[in-house]
Structure formats: C-alpha cells, structure tokens
Structure 1
Amino acid sequence: MGTPPLIVFTDLDGTLLDHESYSFDPARTALERLRALEIPLILASSKTAAEIVEIQRAIGCQAFPAIVENGAGLLDPATGGASSDGRYIELLAAINEVSPSIRSQFEGFHDLGPKGIVQATGLTPEAARLAAKRQFSEPGLFYGGPEDLDAFLRALGKLGVKARRGGRFLTLSFGGTKADRMDEIASGFGNPPRLALGDAPNDVEMLEAADHGVIIANPHGADLPRLPGEAAGLIRRTALPGPLGWNSAVLDLLYQMDL
C-alpha cells in the first residue's frame, strides 16, 4: 500500500467526542469519507489503551495505531494493547513523594477509584473501569490555588514528572507529547500531509506540528490562545463545537484537497 493522501490525528473528548454525551454521531459523514479514501485515522487522547480500543472499534479505525495517555504511550493495533508495560507504579510513587500538605490537594484517578471516576467524569461504570487501567500517566483534579499548583509542579519537576493540562484534568507523566508520537506514526505511513484536530492545551504541540491544524470550538472551557500558525492560515478554528465542528473541518479540507 502506498502513502495515503492524508493522515488524521484527533483528540477525543470535546473534539471528535461530544463533551457531554461522548457521542461521535455528528461526525459520521466525515468518518465515512475518510474510511472510503483509506485515510488513516489516529486517535490521540489522554485515555488509556483499554479505553481507546473500545472507541476504535465503535468508530471502525482499529487497524491503526493510537496515541494514548497524552502521548506517554502508543497503542499497537497488532496486539490491541500499549506498546510497553509503562511506568505507572513508579509515577504514583513519585507523586506521593510530594509534601503531604500539597499532595492532598491533588486527587488522581488512582485516588478516586472507578466510582470516583464516574462522579468526576460522567462515564459509565464500565467506561470508568477502563479509564482506571492506566500504564503511563495519572490524570486528576487539583483543588488548590495557583501558588499551591506552582509548588506542586515544582516538586514534581524535581522528580522528573511533567504535567499537562487537558480539557478537564491535570495529567501527570514522565513525559512524551501527542506531537512526539505523531512523528513516529506518520513516518510509518510514509509521512503524508498531517491534519490534527484538538480543543485543549495538551493538543497545542500536535496542532502546531501538523500541516493543517484545527482548533475545535469548546464552549465548556477557556479558548486556546492565538497560535502562530493561525496568522499563516496553517491553523484555523471552527465555529461549531465538538463532533459537529470536527465533521465540518474534515470535509472542508478534503474538498480543498480535491478528495
């Protein structure tokens, strides 16, 4: 198989999946068009490999790799699992080295457990169980103020732990971004032009590294700051939110590319 005309990298929550219902139904027209053109669709999310496998099956893109846990790991389509065993236990140990007065203000998925994840996210109990099966990163809620957060992040930084702000959660890991993984995956397909779609700060590197970047409108969070690529027309914003905006943006680009 030759190099495809395009490769698509997409965030999930608030982008391809509706922020409230987690449905991708409004994007079905564009998804079907991508499938007909045999354009690889790469899911890139803070979700776990266990979660993304289920979403891939529902969408019909399970033949492709995926970026999991905010770029800290990859999902191998050959095995249906993450590409390594991860460093989750080591990560939890590092988080617990932080001063208890500051550590107590962070409530991660491990602290919440499946029932707490249901309450924090609105996921079903089964989906929350999959979200708890982490290998590389720890999302959570930080309840302290800006100064406390700065102290928390400084302490983690000394332990080699990095933080990423997503749509809802602060995600901790030993590093890796969606953009890093995008390079790896695209090279495996012959480096076709890249389209990236996202709505949150943890998508910025991916949007900036793509040939075509799309910021999906997110009425549930603060707007991303203006990015350098917008002035050059390399990055644009949708008027419609979530999968509605995703559908429109993908179809518009396919039309522009005469696909």
Structure 2
Amino acid sequence: MTNSASYLVFTDLDGTLLNHDDYRYDDALPMLAWLKDHQIPVIAVTSKTRVEVEELLQALSFEEPFVVENGSGVFIPHNDQRFDLSHTDIAQQEQHQRLSLGCTYDQARTGLKTLSQCLSQPLQGFGDMTVDELIALTGLSTDDALKAQTREFTEPFVNPGLDAKALEQHVAEIGFQVLVGDRFCHLIGVGAGKGKAVDLLVQCYQAPQGPVKTVGLGNSPNDLAMLEVVDIPIVIPGAKGPHPGLAGRGWQIAPATGAKGWAMAMQQVRDQFWG
C-alpha cells in the first residue's frame, strides 16, 4: 500500500453490503478478503440489533467492532488493543465490551408512550406487536422477527403519517431523537447517532503509523450522519438510483446496487488510494 495513513471502512448493511431483496453478499466477498488481508477494518454501522448482527458478522469472519440500533450501541471485541477505552463508560459482556451512547430500551418504550400521549393517538412499536404482526408488516422470517424484537436501546414504531419536521419537533420536546422512515420511525436517545458512533471509534482507534482516514458506505437517509463525518463518503444506489436524501451532495455513487456496487466502489477506492 502506497498511502501511509491507516484506514477504517464503515458500512451500512441492508441495501449496502447486503443486497436489498435477498440480503446476500457474495459479490463483496473478494473485496472483503482483500481488506482483511491488508488489515483494513470493516465496521458495520446499522439499524439492526446486536443479535441480528452477530450471526452475520460471524459468517463474514469479521473480528471488528460494530455499531447497532442507529448508533445507540457500540460493541468492541474483548482485548482489542487497537482501541483505547480507558476514558469511556464501558460495560463488559460475554463476547464484547459495550458502549451505550443513547438510552435503554425501557426508556425508549416509556418515551414512545409519552409521545403517543402528546400526539393524542396510539403508536404501535415493535414491543407492542406479536411476532406474527411484525412478520406481516416486514416480511421477516420468524427467527429474524424475534431477533429484530430483541432490542437494547431503541424502539421502531409504525409511522403515524405526520409531517417529518412536526414529528421531529414533538420528539425533541420529550427529550429524544427520531429517524423518520417510510414505514417505520426509530425513537432513539439524544446521545446516539451513526455519526457520533463513527467519531467515537475514530477517536479511540490507535494509529501509531499515521493519521486515520475513513471510508463510509450507505444507501438511505439514516446513513446521512455517518456519511457526513467520513473522509470518503460513498452512496450505494437502489434500483431507481441514489436515494433523493443522499443525492446531489457531490459524493461518490457506486456503479451498481447492493453487494456488487459495494465491491465496485471499494475497488475504486483501492485503486485511487491504496495502489
């Protein structure tokens, strides 16, 4: 590698590293292997829960930190000497050290009840649904639906159909943040965020060889905060092109969707920066 900087690659999962329709990642495997061979960490930054992510990362042989529930929790492998965590409030778990940036799930559930009262309308969160109801709404398998309901920090809820700015204002008034999606919104703590989690990991990363350079890949507006803080932001398009919320920013657009686009975009980065 010709560049003396250390690199970190931060990536969303669904619709980015994983294909939108079948969630496969075969097309990205050769590039992932190259990155691993060259000791360039690939760090998942996702809205998924920890239990959803762990199985996938084991299949990919990832041994890196990962970020879940839209930047609410950061999980770092035990004894990972590349990260200085002495100044952080960290909890020890069986497989990982956990940094909590947002609220607890119980707090998020209480916040959703408060929001429902403020709006004078019922709001249906994941915790209010049976597994069958969640499957009907999402198309997930039973196993995946159970994993999606195993939450630690945030509460997704069915979009009540309010104007996004109005909903954001109501949520701010009760001391939370909200990420507004087409079908679901995510109620998260004020200290959380994909961009904040990325910043934290970059600050913790030990780079005696030189400065840290960061690459970020995402496909939807909930990746915006992450893409805004990395050095090389890359947008993975959908079938109809890049999401309007990420378009027109001068960022690199991958030449294909899903895992294939992810791999092609990373090959372009490799050719340009890593030689």
Give me the TM-score of the superposition, normalised by structure 1.
0.86
AA in 2 matched with 1:243: A
- Alpha carbons of structure 1 residues 180 and 117: separation in structure 2 relative to 1, 3 Å: same
Q: CA deviation at 1:27?
A: 1.1
Q: CA deviation at 1:150?
A: 4.8
Alignment root-mean-square deviation, CA: 2.5
Q: Is the 8 A contact 1:43 1:66 kept in 2?
A: yes
Q: CA deviation at 1:102?
A: 3.9
Q: Is the 8 A contact 1:108 1:141 kept in 2?
A: yes
Moved over 6 A (4+): none
Q: Is the 8 A contact 1:140 1:170 kept in 2?
A: yes
Q: CA deviation at 1:182?
A: 0.8
Q: CA deviation at 1:151?
A: 4.6
- Alpha carbons of structure 1 residues 171 and 211: separation in structure 2 relative to 1, 3 Å: same
Please give the secondary structure, in 1, of the residue aligned with 2:129.
helix
CA distance in 2 between partners of 1:4 and 1:133 (Å): 38
Which one of 220, 223, 236 corresponds to residue 244 of structure 2? 223
Aligned pairs for 1:1-259 (under 5 A) are: 5-61=6-62, 63-78=63-78, 79-81=94-96, 82-84=98-100, 87-100=104-117, 102=119, 104=121, 106-146=123-163, 150-165=165-180, 169-175=184-190, 176-189=192-205, 190=207, 192-219=212-239, 222-226=243-247, 228=249, 230=250, 235-259=251-275
CA distance in 2 between partners of 1:73 and 1:193 (Å): 22
CA distance in 2 between partners of 1:53 and 1:77 (Å): 11
Q: Is the 8 A contact 2:135 2:141 kept in 1?
A: yes
Q: Is the 8 A contact 1:51 1:127 kept in 2?
A: yes
Please give the secondary structure, in 2, of the residue aligned with 1:14.
coil
Deviations 1:151-193 (CA, angstroms, capped at 9, x unpaired):
5433322111111135753211113111111111123332521
AA in 2 matched with 1:47: K
Deviations 1:66-87 (CA, angstroms, capped at 9, x unpaired):
1110001112322435435951
Please give the secondary structure, in 1, of the residue aligned with 2:174.
coil
Please give the secondary structure, in 2, of the residue aligned with 1:6.
strand
CA distance in 1 between partners of 2:75 and 2:134 (Å): 22
Q: Which runs of 5+ in 2 are unaligned?
A: 79-93
Please give the secondary structure, in 2, of the residue aligned with 1:218.
coil
AA in 1 matched with 2:137: A
Match of 2:82 in 1: none
Q: CA deviation at 1:250?
A: 0.8
Q: CA deviation at 1:217?
A: 0.2
Residues matched between the structures, number: 249
Please give the secondary structure, in 2, of the residue aligned with 1:97.
helix
- Alpha carbons of structure 1 residues 130 and 224: separation in structure 2 relative to 1, 3 Å: same
CA distance in 2 between partners of 1:125 and 1:186 (Å): 36
User: Which range moved further: 206-215 or 81-90?
Assistant: 81-90
User: Which range moved further: 100-109 or 7-16?
Assistant: 100-109
Identity of aligned residues (%): 29
AA in 1 matched with 2:266: V
- Alpha carbons of structure 1 residues 118 and 99: separation in structure 2 relative to 1, 3 Å: closer
CA distance in 2 between partners of 1:168 and 1:75 (Å): 28
Please give the secondary structure, in 2, of the residue aligned with 1:70.
coil
AA in 1 matched with 2:244: D
AA in 1 matched with 2:66: A
Q: CA deviation at 1:225?
A: 4.2
CA distance in 1 between partners of 2:43 and 2:120 (Å): 34
